[in-house]
Amino acid sequence: MADGVLVRISDTLWRHPRLLVTLLLAPPVLWLGVIYLGSLFALLAQSFFSIDEFSGLINYEFTLKTYGELFKAHNLDIIVRTVTMAAAVTVGAAIIGFPVAYYAARYARGKWKALFYLGVMLPLWSSYLVKVYSWKLILAKEGILNWLFETLHLSWLLNAYLAIPVIGGNSLSVSSTGTFLVFLYVWLPFMILPIQASLERVPHSMLEASGDLGATPAQAFRTVLLPLALPGVIAGSIFTFSLTLGDYIIPQIVGSSRRFIGQAVYQYQGTAGNIPLAAAFAVVPILIMGLYLWWAKRKGAFDAL
């Protein structure tokens, strides 16, 4: 009897593939649609409200005043600082990541290939906080980096560097350079994987052909390989850029007191209780990433993901 029902259900599903797809999709779409998109829109809607300066209560009337506040000097500063940091981290990650990806894709074979693969995968997946923590150990005043400079009698060099305004500071652990290093370290694997994927798709015969046609290895690299690898670099930059834009933990633990977008969002929604401004701030990375993704799509970066 129970079997009969099952068979009938089974037949119905087979005869009506649309019903099957609907049934399959209903749970995930409901979950993500209600829980995730619902809360996301609820938050974004609040960015059109404002906060009453005297009572500190939210005024539920449509206004663009909160967005106007983003353009005040100190808030604009936060946005510019965050975008600059994201760009610097992206460039740094591309420079350090490219040789790793290139070697892994072109030259590593057999055991070395697996080693390179896991060598990127393990740091990618190891705990984010542990990675940040390791840099707290490295950059500490009594830590290994200062010890290294001292042992090599190069402390004067480090001090001269730290004396530079903006990128310097009292010590590496409270300087923008420190923040940059941690960001670079934590997001680097996200840059390497897409570059490697795009490089692996370049047929070897193309490089041989360019060599046969008289290109030096340097020319072949610049005119053949690099343009073909560019979508991979852009795909990687989507990660490094977006992850840096939204992070609020790294600059809080390693860095100066100058704030980033993530920290501003965190403080406005928490201690300040200014949800409308926090929501308006949250729109900034969404907008920037929207523009960035649109540009990346035009450059063909999505095929390299």
Residues 53-112 binding other proteins (CB under 8 A) are 96-97, 99-100, 102-104, 106-107
The region that residue 109 occupies, defined by phi over 0 for left and psi between -120 and 50 for alpha, beta otherwise, is beta
We find the least distance from the C-beta atom of residue 154 to other proteins, in angstroms, to be: 16
The SS3 call for residue 59 is strand
Q: Which of these, 286, 96, 103, lies nearest to 187 by C-alpha position? A: 96
* Residues within window 153-192 making contact with other proteins, judged by CB under 8 A: 185, 188-190, 192
Which sign does the torsion angle of CA 164, 170, 172, 175 carry? negative
Give the binding range for other proteins (CB under 8 A) out of 62-70, 132-140, 152-160, 161-169: 132-140
Total residues interacting with other proteins, rule: CB under 8 A = 98
- Choice between 234 and 265, CB closer to other proteins: 265
Position among 183, 187, 266, 292 found at the interface with other proteins (CB under 8 A)? 266
Mutual angle of helices 275-298 and 38-46, in 10-degree steps: 120
Q: Is 18 in the site for other proteins (CB under 8 A)?
A: yes
Say how many CA atoms lie within 13 Å of 294 toward its Cβ. 6
We find the least distance from the C-beta atom of residue 77 to other proteins, in angstroms, to be: 19
- Choice between 76 and 118, CB closer to other proteins: 118
Determine how many CB atoms are found less than 10 A away from the CB of residue 98. Answer: 20
- Choice between 121 and 166, CB closer to other proteins: 121
- Choice between 163 and 267, CB closer to other proteins: 267
* Residues within window 202-261 making contact with other proteins, judged by CB under 8 A: 207-208, 210-211, 217, 220-221, 242-243, 245-249, 252-253
The region that residue 300 occupies, defined by phi over 0 for left and psi between -120 and 50 for alpha, beta otherwise, is left
Position among 51, 89, 94, 197 found at the interface with other proteins (CB under 8 A)? 197
Task: Compute φ and ψ for 54, nearest 5 degrees.
Answer: -90, -50
Our CA angle for 74, 76, 81, nearest 5°, is 95
In whole angstroms, give the CA distance from residue 100 to residue 95: 10
We find the least distance from the C-beta atom of residue 96 to other proteins, in angstroms, to be: 5
Position among 14, 16, 91, 170 found at the interface with other proteins (CB under 8 A)? 14
We find the least distance from the C-beta atom of residue 275 to other proteins, in angstroms, to be: 6
User: Site mask, other proteins, residues 109-128, x = CB under 8 A?
Assistant: -------xxxxxxxxxxxxx
Q: Which of these, 158, 130, 125, lies nearest to 144 by C-alpha position? A: 158
- Choice between 126 and 170, CB closer to other proteins: 126
In the numeric block, the tokens 């609907």 are attached to 22
